[in-house]
């Protein structure tokens, strides 16, 4: 056998987070039947250990940057940033899930194993250096997420959420694959750097229209995964129907990883045809912001509202992608990190408040939360203010850097319309705060217990991160700036 195909030890080190996550997920599946009912949360603690080990693995891999497995993987600052982010979202989701699974009497090892598999897929995605790996990572992450979305299999809402996520997700993946097939046919390679080299060579660059069509097919796949207009229709149904901690996970982790491959493919491989895709992304970013914000105005279900809000925030990140500049990429990375904290925090409040069977998920049910549980209400207010982009919160600097990058790239109209959009968004976020503090307490808050320890930990950690990023944004921004793709 050719020696080139035997992986060197350093390649395995660069692949450490994925290996550790897979080992722990498999271990959890093996131990699941051996664990007594009522003791299953111990598997969750094992999953937490696995995530911490994966974070350590990501740090070790980051100390040995470079490619692995014949250039299939590329461990650079960009990959490391998103690996940390995916693992962090996993830790926060896990902490929310303990109380949720106990309450729904659905604690089992497969939940934790699926969570780890999904994160392993995201880690493969963000460090992929070629299209086959992107596809495999995306599918590992997605297939595990489909099951998680329908985790409570006797709940009709969960079934519907999983079905819609699965059907539309596979449909979008087929478009992505068809685009990949054509790019492979045109350039003769699936390696991103090689594709860029071929596309930038004017002499051998084949028909521009054909390349544009392939890039458009791949855009369909990516736009679905990041819930960008016009492929966002699945998001409200899926986030509304899925278990609350899973919605938190789906709207932060897989979405950030999907943006990572979106950025990597369009900034490296498709850089030579940037003039073509920039116009498409411009329109999509604007449509995504408008659809998300205006539909959110009409919602009465808080999970659905947060789903539309997540669409709107994907629109802001798309503005940063449209700039295709280094500071735009850094701004997108910062925004995804900031959004992960505030979004998981907000969904943690929903997880806590919804109670058994997710009975209380309407905005009006929150009436009187400000009197009944002032601390929870205050923490939720921090997340909502950060969504709006109020100074001293992470959301402010996130929007600031994105629109600054857009102005630097001469996207003046997109900036103006984006800012108008975020003004509209303030209305529906403030409405929740008004209901919490100024409406007569409804009977739904009367029997509300104090949050479970795991949920409290998530609330405090997310609020602290939101405020720290709002006061010292440079801590994350410097990392993102160094790691951003050129």
Binding site for another protein (CB under 8 A): 131-132, 135-136, 139, 143, 146-147, 150, 153-154, 156-157, 159-164, 166-167, 170-171, 174, 177-178, 180-182, 184-185, 188-190, 236-237, 240-241, 298-301, 304
Distance in Å, CB of 142 to another protein, minimum: 9
Please check whether residue 192 is in contact with residue 264, taking contact to mean a CB–CB distance below 8 angstroms.
Answer: yes
| Closer of 290 and 361 to another protein (Cβ) | 361
Nearer to another protein, 109 or 241 (CB): 241
Would you say 286 and 275 are in contact if contact means Cβ atoms under 8 Å apart? Answer: no
When the beta carbons of 98 and 428 are compared against another protein, the nearer one is 428
Cβ proximity to another protein, 95 vs 295, nearer residue? 295
- Is residue 294 packed enough to be buried (19+ CB in 10 Å), middle (13-18) or exposed (0-12)? middle
Backbone angles phi, psi at 65, to 5 degrees: -65, 160
CA nearest neighbour of 241 among 301, 168, 171, 172: 301
Q: How far apart are CA 166 and CA 177, in angstroms?
A: 16
Question: CB 119 → another protein: shortest distance, Å?
Answer: 17
* Pairwise CA distance, residues 144 & 14, whole Å: 23
Report, in Å, the least distance between residue 310 CB and another protein.
16
267/324 Cα distance (integer angstroms): 6
Nearest approach, Cβ of 238 to another protein (angstroms)? Answer: 9
Q: Which residues contact 110 (CB under 8 A, 6 or more apart)?
A: 29, 32, 147
Of 60 and 163, CB closest to another protein: 163
User: Considering beta carbons, is residue 303 or 313 the nearer one to another protein?
Assistant: 303
Helix (H) and strand (E) counts in the chain: 20, 2
Q: State residue 362 phi and psi, 5-degree precision.
A: -95, 150
Beta bridge partners of 383: none
**Nearest distance, CB of residue 246 and another protein, angstroms:** 14
CB of 10 to another protein, least distance (A): 24
Closest approach, Cβ 164 to another protein, in A, equals 8
Which residues are within 8 A (CB) of 229 and not within 5 positions of it... i.e. 6 or more apart?
A: 223, 284, 287, 288, 290, 291, 292, 311, 315
158 vs 323, beta carbon nearer another protein: 158
């Amino acid at each position: 056998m050719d020696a080139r195909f035997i992986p060197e030890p350093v390649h395995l080190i660069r692949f450490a987070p994925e290996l550790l996550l897979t080992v722990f997920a498999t271990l959890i599946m093996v131990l699941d039947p051996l664990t007594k009912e009522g003791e299953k949360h111990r598997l969750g603690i094992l999953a937490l250990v696995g995530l911490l080990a994966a974070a350590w693995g990501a740090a070790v891999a980051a100390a040995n940057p470079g490619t692995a497995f014949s250039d299939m993987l590329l461990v650079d600052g960009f990959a490391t940033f998103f690996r940390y982010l995916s693992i962090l979202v996993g830790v926060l989701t896990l902490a929310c899930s303990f109380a949720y699974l106990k309450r729904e009497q659905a604690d089992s090892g497969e939940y934790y194993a699926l969570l780890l598999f999904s994160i392993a897929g995201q880690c493969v995605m963000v460090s992929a250096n070629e299209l086959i790996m992107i596809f495999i990572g995306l599918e590992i992450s997605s297939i595990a997420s489909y099951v998680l979305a329908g985790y409570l299999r006797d709940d009709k809402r969960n079934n519907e959420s999983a079905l819609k996520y699965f059907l539309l997700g596979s449909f979008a993946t087929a478009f992505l694959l068809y685009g990949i097939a054509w790019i492979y046919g045109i350039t003769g390679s699936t390696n991103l750097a090689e594709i860029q080299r071929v596309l930038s060579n004017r002499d051998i660059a084949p028909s521009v229209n054909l390349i544009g069509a392939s890039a458009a097919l791949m855009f369909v796949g990516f736009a679905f995964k990041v819930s960008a207009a016009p492929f966002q229709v699945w998001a409200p149904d899926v986030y509304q129907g899925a278990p609350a901690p899973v919605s938190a996970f789906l709207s932060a982790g897989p979405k950030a990883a999907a943006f990572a491959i979106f950025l990597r493919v369009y900034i490296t491989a498709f850089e030579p045809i940037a003039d073509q895709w920039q116009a498409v992304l411009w329109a999509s970013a604007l449509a995504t912001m408008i659809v998300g914000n205006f539909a959110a105005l009409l919602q009465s279900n808080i999970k659905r509202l947060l789903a539309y809000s997540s669409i709107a925030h994907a629109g802001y990140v798309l503005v940063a992608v449209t700039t295709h500049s280094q500071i735009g990429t850094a701004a997108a990375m910062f925004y995804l990190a900031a959004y992960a904290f505030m979004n998981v925090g907000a969904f943690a409040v929903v997880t806590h408040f919804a109670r058994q069977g997710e009975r209380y998920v309407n905005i009006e049910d929150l009436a009187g939360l400000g009197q009944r549980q002032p601390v929870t209400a205050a923490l939720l207010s921090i997340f909502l203010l950060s969504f709006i982009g109020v100074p001293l919160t992470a959301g402010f600097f996130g929007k600031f850097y994105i629109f600054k990058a857009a102005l630097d790239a001469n996207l003046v109209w997109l900036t103006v319309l984006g800012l108008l959009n975020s003004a509209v968004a303030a209305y529906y976020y403030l409405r929740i705060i008004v209901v919490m503090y100024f409406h007569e307490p409804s009977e739904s808050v009367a029997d509300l217990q104090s949050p479970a320890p795991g949920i409290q930990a998530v609330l405090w950690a997310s609020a602290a991160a939101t405020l720290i990023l709002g006061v010292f944004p440079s801590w994350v921004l410097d990392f993102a700036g160094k790691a951003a793709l050129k």
